[in-house]
Amino acid sequence: MNVFRQKSAPKENNLHTKEAPADDRGPVTHQPILTPPADYSPPSRPALDDSQKEKVDKLRAAMQAIMLPEDHEYYPNEKGFLTDGTFNRYLRARKWDFEAAKTMLENTVKWRRDYRPDQLDPDYIRPEAETGKMYYDGFDKAGRPIWIMRPRLQNSKDNERQVKHIVYCLERGIRLMPAKVENIAIIVDFKDSAYAHNPSVGTCKKFLDILSNHYPERLGIAFVVKSPWFFFTTFKLISPFMDPVTKAKIKFVYDKEKGGKDDAATKTNNEMVHIEDYISTDQLECEYGGNYNFSYNINDYWNALLERTGNPYKVIDYM
């Protein structure tokens, strides 16, 4: 399974950094922003009504009935995952259909016991992160960690490890979330991407399956930057597998080079936006119109990520 499929890795994969930024961008830093700003404003949710509260209580009781025994090695992890925040997300994802949410969460609990997504070995995952094809840097105005994806920097053919890299990033992103924040922002940067980099429909569906079935309500917003001519074809094929709410979260970023036009945005009826309306310039890389002159370096990034999110991992309560 290859999330960013290509025939051969580009030469820049051996550099482990981006192309050097222009001089007028100021000093370059290799340190990602992994601490949220003090002035973020998480979106508020309406208070639960009595019926919804009752369903949260029922789901909590149902999960307590199947929870691992306290002496099991994975019990602390499972206990930390099965929180009211988790129950709320699964119920919202199934539009407060209790039985559907219960089945969905039971499947995730079984998957987590087998897959141990929060215990993936950083040393095993690290080769996938060498080129910076996926990494975190900055927070949007709602306090959501920004997960940056750059398909052109695919460097691996190990399908299993590629999928685990995605899961690893999701788990680390959750650990970067500040108080009252429960989802992430994604920037998919298609700059210099060729058709060979385009993910297959099956690969896209696999990613959507993991995100929707085991990480519901974790996607806050996704920005598509410099969408290539072939993007619409893939998007059209995977759209039937996407929940309308999820599809609406995908925004196409206004591109000055295209005069503000984007064929993919027009054809998909998705909104075009100015990314600075969602991300403050001090949290946004120069590459995307911000002021943060970040250049990816695997050693600096990896050390910073592990220091912030746990080395080799950290047991948390999922808010």
User: Where in the chain are the domains?
Assistant: 50-115, 122-309
Q: What is the pLDDT of residues 67-99, one digit of tens each?
A: 999 999 999 999 999 999 999 999 999 999 999
Q: Count other C-beta atoms under 10 Å from residue 170's C-beta.
A: 19
pLDDT at 28: 96
240: preceding bond cis by omega (within 30 degrees) = no
Residue with tokens 């998909």: 268
Determine whether domain 122-309 maps to CATH 3.40.525.10.
Answer: yes
CATH number 1.10.8 given to 50-115: yes
Q: What SS3 state is found at 223?
A: strand
**Partners of 185 in beta bridges:** 146, 221
* Triad 107, 109, 113: Cα angle to 5°: 120
Residue 72 CB neighbours (<10 A): 12
Long-range pairs for 213-217: beta carbons < 8 A, 24 or more residues apart:
213/104, 213/107, 213/108, 214/108, 214/111, 214/112, 214/117, 215/170, 216/89, 216/90, 216/92, 216/93, 216/104, 217/89, 217/92, 217/93, 217/182, 217/183
Q: Which residues have CB under 8 Å from 17's CB, separation 6+? A: 30, 132, 295, 296, 297
pTM of the model: 0.88
Helix, coil or strand: residue 13: helix
CA atoms within a 13 Å half-sphere pointing along the CA-CB vector of 240: 4
> Which residue's structure tokens are 């369903």?
55
Name the residue among 194, 201, 191 with its Cα closest to residue 286.
Answer: 191
With contact defined as beta carbons under 8 Å apart, do 228 and 190 qualify?
Answer: yes
Instruction: Please compute Rg for the chain using Cα positions.
Output: 20
Query: Would you write out the chain's pLDDT as a tens digit for each of its 319 residues?
Result: 434 344 334 444 444 434 444 457 789 999 999 999 999 999 899 999 999 999 999 999 999 999 999 999 999 999 999 999 999 999 999 999 999 999 999 999 999 999 999 999 999 999 999 999 999 999 999 999 999 999 889 888 888 898 899 999 999 999 999 999 999 999 999 888 766 655 556 667 788 889 999 999 999 999 999 887 667 666 777 777 778 888 889 999 988 766 655 555 555 567 889 999 999 999 999 999 999 999 999 999 999 999 999 999 999 999 9
| CA–CA separation, 195 and 203 (whole Å) | 15
Q: Which residues contact 205 (CB under 8 A, 6 or more apart)?
A: 238, 241
Residue 310's alpha-carbon distances to 146, 183, 297, in angstroms, are 18, 19, 19
85-136 confidence digits (pLDDT tens) = 999 999 999 999 999 999 999 999 999 999 999 999 999 999 999 999 999 9
